[in-house]
Amino acid sequence: MSDDTTNQPARDQQVSSFAKSMFAGELPDELVFPFPKLSRDESRKVHGLIDSAHEFLDDSYDPALVEQERWVGDHIIKGLGERGLLGLYVSPEYGGQGLSQTGYCRVMEEFGGYDATLSVVMGVHQSIGMKPIHMFGTEEQKARFLPDLAAGRKLAAFGLTEPNAGSDAYHVETYAERQADGSFLLNGEKRWIGNGAKDVVCVFARCENGHVALIVEKGMDGFEAPHRFDTLGLLGNDLRKLTFNNVRVPKENVLGEPGEGFRIAMSTLNNGRMSLGTGVVGGTKALIKQAIEHTTRREQFGMPLADFELVEDKVGWMVSYLYGLESLAYLTTGLVDAGVPDYSVESAMSKVAATEFNWYAVNRVFQLMGGEAYMADSPISKTLRDTRIFPIFEGANDVLRAFIALSGMKTVAGEFEDLRSINLSDPIGSIGTLAEFVRGQVSRRLRPASLEAAHPKLAKQAEAVSNQTRQLRGAVETLLRTHGKDVQLRQRQQKRIADAACDIYAQVATISRTTALFEDQGVEASGQERYIASSFCDRAAHRVGAQLRLVERNDDEQMHSIARLAYNRGGYTPRLH
């Protein structure tokens, strides 16, 4: 966050990652208490930007027209740029707002609540498109590109995915050959690139010593965006195939050093996933409002739908889960702003938790709205089409679950001499080499898992989290000793570990947030939040217990045999007689 924000970690603090500490059986609560919040000055700026966005969009933005014309509209981009909404985290030196990660994600939440297509176009531009220039560009590159991008005079894209390199992004085939003058000759193809036909694309390609990141500009000879994809949803998102035929990219457009390209790509995605998480928060708030408006208005069997228990169950579940998700998302942005060095696992957790929850929430609201929802022109029908892609892009959730689990396993394996030989240094090429975990000088045995900073009224939930953390660590150690290096192939177990870890982290975030509310407003004044927080934590604890029990007792072998039988027979073949 900004310099005067709260929740700065102690200067002698040496833990590099809260989530990885959690896998090791520790809960370094100095990283997560107090719950992060914006400074007064930044909060005022953020609210001013949000008000400006709503004032403009309410008058100018028509989601139905966007679908019809298949683009959000150049006038929308221009208007948002004029209001400072396209360079939210960019330094004022380059025409931006200079927001923290939390401030940026708070504004992006509003886009998510307004329209998924607009949120994605904004996210492609800011969260990943121009982010590599902001994070890794030279001063000359920043001065040359960021002012136009921040003002909306140009739009940015992120060129990584290829026909043969989706989740396995490490093995991109696009190749850049270095020339004698330091330029690169780029050849290859990218696909499914949002904003791909616009102005600036950060392209990632193989080179002689690994990967290289290149800033490719519209109009360069040999660079074309010849094909626009038709998609199920997000119809106003300009999704393109990009081709590079001997495109000469000058040395002034090389980001970082040749060989660093993959690290740049993965660092960008680690950072960008957080705004997807908070965008989902905004989208789900809009969904809940839509559900309540419908169920309180519509009557069946002589009473409002809202009075039926199964309707209450759906709405209550969404509100409770959203509180936990919102807590997780903004605890993660706060870790970034506080300078915690490694937030890759927390970012992945935020993306997985948000997009999985969103999909189930959309389906529940769809169910509540009945036949009306199934009409092609209904808003929830559009939401269903728009949001199905969320668990897939910016890292498919199954791949991210494997990354989360294997990151934790690497942390635990490093503690034991007999387990260090298990090579987990690069388990998933699409995510990148797992960073070394730095714990500091306090050992697990001297520092048992506990959340000592939790409010006394949340002691039950805090103790439950402590127990779950110890159980998580034990389950990871068991898997390592049982399977050794083959644990990389045990994806069913990885999913269980990852889902349990996400729920533990979400409980920590919820306890931290609610503790801050209690201390600020008092327990009695925060009764609603206490009730919601307790419900979320208790349900999450139940899910954690179920997942960790399945680590020991499951039907994985049966599922393996059934799937292989279906493969061999080409489908479902059991007989009725």
Active site residues: 394
Asked whether the beta carbons of 254 and 203 are under 8 A apart, the reply is no
User: For strand 200-207 and strand 156-159, is the pairing parallel, antiparallel, or unpaired?
Assistant: parallel
Calpha distance 571→44 (Å, rounded): 59
Calpha distance 398→406 (Å, rounded): 12
Longest dimension (CA), the chain: 80
Calpha distance 458→455 (Å, rounded): 5
In order of 33, 222, 353, 524, the CA distances from 349 in angstroms are 19, 39, 6, 32
Query: Who's near 429: CB < 8 A, 6+ residues apart?
Result: 168, 169, 170, 171
Helix boundaries (H) for 370-458: 379-387, 397-413
Asked whether the beta carbons of 541 and 547 are under 8 A apart, the reply is no
Asked whether the beta carbons of 173 and 164 are under 8 A apart, the reply is yes
Q: Give the DSSP per-residue string, 453-489.
A: TS-GGGHHHHHHHHHHHHHHHHHHHHHHHHHGGGGGG
Nearest Cα to 512, choosing from 472, 470, 452?
452
Calpha distance 124→103 (Å, rounded): 18
Query: Who's near 417: CB < 8 A, 6+ residues apart?
Result: none
